[in-house]
């Protein structure tokens, strides 16, 4: 077999294998290569009213979760920060104030609609000196090794197709001593709270989505994707496996949300 033929065969095998690989899209199993498009569809649909829905769904508590994330980040003037899946720029806005004129914040999202909303919002709030915007995939970060002091991904990791690949990619772009913060829905630590939370997620949430964005399916996906996301200990293990050191997590609101922290050795 010639080299060209061998290469073509390998490519065909890879494509065949890829097309047969499955991943989760909520409770639904989809082909791996289709997940990004399906997720993109969800966020294109909700981008315009994302903030309103966040406030309604969490009763405003998402601001407290993000506030705590900022505190744990330890970001100082002059730092370089990458906010992945930054959505409407809540974290990026705070980081831009903390890093000052000598620092840099990159607000990124895989979804153009979300990124546009975030960019408009930050510009409207007068942030224009130290924030750049990038549409990117967390699995393939287009930055040099050892670039950032801090990388955050808030409510985004569960939508990434290959989470392990994204964690390795983040580790690569962090400076040694830099930290990753993953803010994500997790597993409630109390069985009663879990039951109430289930009722809320699968009954009230899609209803609210229907009323406000006329899109119940996207919010049903949100609830399902939260259940399919790794729990606290599993995600910590994934970060350890990716190569992070001193990994730990903080449960918030009874474990409904957890903040994971890992340091690049």
Binding mask 84-103 for other proteins (x = CB under 8 A): -------------x------
Q: Does 200 bind other proteins (CB under 8 A)?
A: no
Contact with other proteins (CB under 8 A): which of 72, 208, 216, 263?
72
Contact with other proteins (CB under 8 A): which of 109, 253, 260, 264?
253
Q: Nearer to other proteins by C-beta: 98 or 242? A: 98
Q: Does 56 bind other proteins (CB under 8 A)?
A: no
Q: Does 30 bind other proteins (CB under 8 A)?
A: no
d(CA 172, CA 247): 16
With CA atoms as reference, report the closest residue to 18 among 8, 33, 38, 34.
Answer: 33
Strand residue runs (E) in the chain = 22-25, 28-31, 80-84, 104-109, 131-135, 148-154, 174-185, 245-252, 257-263
Q: Does 134 bind other proteins (CB under 8 A)?
A: no
Q: Nearer to other proteins by C-beta: 74 or 142? A: 74
List alpha helices for 102-162, DSSP H: 112-124
Q: Nearer to other proteins by C-beta: 65 or 244? A: 65
Least distance CB 153 / other proteins (angstroms): 18
Q: Does 263 bind other proteins (CB under 8 A)?
A: no
With contacts defined by CB under 8 A, name the span among 28-36, 106-114, 237-245, 247-255 that binds other proteins. Answer: 247-255
Q: Does 67 bind other proteins (CB under 8 A)?
A: yes
Between helices 3-20 and 32-46, what is the axis angle to 10°?
50
Token digits for 82? 């990458």
Token digits for 158? 């569960």
Q: Nearer to other proteins by C-beta: 63 or 203? A: 63
CB–CB of 212/49 below 8 Å? yes
Q: Does 251 bind other proteins (CB under 8 A)?
A: yes
Tell me the C-alpha to C-alpha distance, in Å, between residue 48 and each of 74, 184, 214: 31, 21, 12
Contact with other proteins (CB under 8 A): which of 30, 165, 252, 263?
252
Least distance CB 71 / other proteins (angstroms): 4
Least distance CB 64 / other proteins (angstroms): 4
Residues in the chain: 265
CB–CB of 206/219 below 8 Å? yes
With CA atoms as reference, report the closest residue to 97 among 72, 77, 117.
Answer: 77
Tell me the C-alpha to C-alpha distance, in Å, between residue 192 and each of 189, 200, 201, 205, 237: 9, 12, 14, 18, 26
d(CA 132, CA 76): 18
DSSP-based three-state secondary structure for 161:
coil
With CA atoms as reference, report the closest residue to 103 among 115, 91, 95.
Answer: 95
Least distance CB 235 / other proteins (angstroms): 17
With contacts defined by CB under 8 A, name the span among 59-67, 128-136, 168-176, 238-246 that binds other proteins. Answer: 59-67
Q: Nearer to other proteins by C-beta: 228 or 245? A: 245
Summarize as ranges the residues that interact with other proteins (CB under 8 A).
Answer: 61, 63-65, 67-68, 71-74, 76, 97, 250-254, 259
């Amino acid at each position: 077999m010639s080299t060209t033929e061998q290469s073509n065969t390998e490519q065909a095998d890879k494509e065949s294998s890829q097309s047969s690989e499955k991943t989760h899209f909520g409770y639904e199993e989809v082909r791996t290569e289709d997940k990004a498009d399906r997720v993109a569809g969800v966020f294109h649909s909700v981008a315009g009213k994302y903030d309103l829905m966040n406030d309604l769904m969490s009763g405003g508590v998402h601001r407290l979760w993000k506030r705590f994330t900022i505190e744990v980040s330890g970001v100082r003037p002059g730092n370089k920060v990458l906010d992945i899946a930054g959505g409407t720029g809540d974290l990026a806005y705070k980081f831009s104030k903390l890093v000052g004129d000598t620092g840099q914040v990159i607000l990124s999202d895989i979804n153009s609609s979300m990124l546009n909303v975030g960019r408009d919002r930050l510009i409207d709030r007068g942030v224009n000196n130290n924030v750049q915007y990038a549409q990117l995939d967390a699995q393939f970060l287009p930055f040099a090794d050892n670039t950032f002091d801090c990388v955050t991904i808030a409510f985004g990791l569960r939508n990434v197709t290959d989470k392990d690949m994204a964690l390795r990619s983040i580790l690569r772009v962090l400076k040694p001593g830099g930290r990753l913060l993953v803010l994500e829905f997790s597993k409630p630590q109390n069985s009663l709270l879990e039951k109430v939370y289930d009722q809320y997620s699968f009954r009230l949430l899609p209803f609210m989505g229907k009323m406000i964005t006329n899109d119940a399916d996207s919010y049903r996906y949100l609830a399902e994707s939260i259940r399919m996301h790794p729990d606290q200990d599993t995600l910590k293990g994934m970060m350890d496996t990716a190569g992070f050191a001193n990994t730990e997590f903080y449960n918030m609101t009874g474990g409904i949300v957890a903040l994971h922290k890992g340091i690049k050795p």
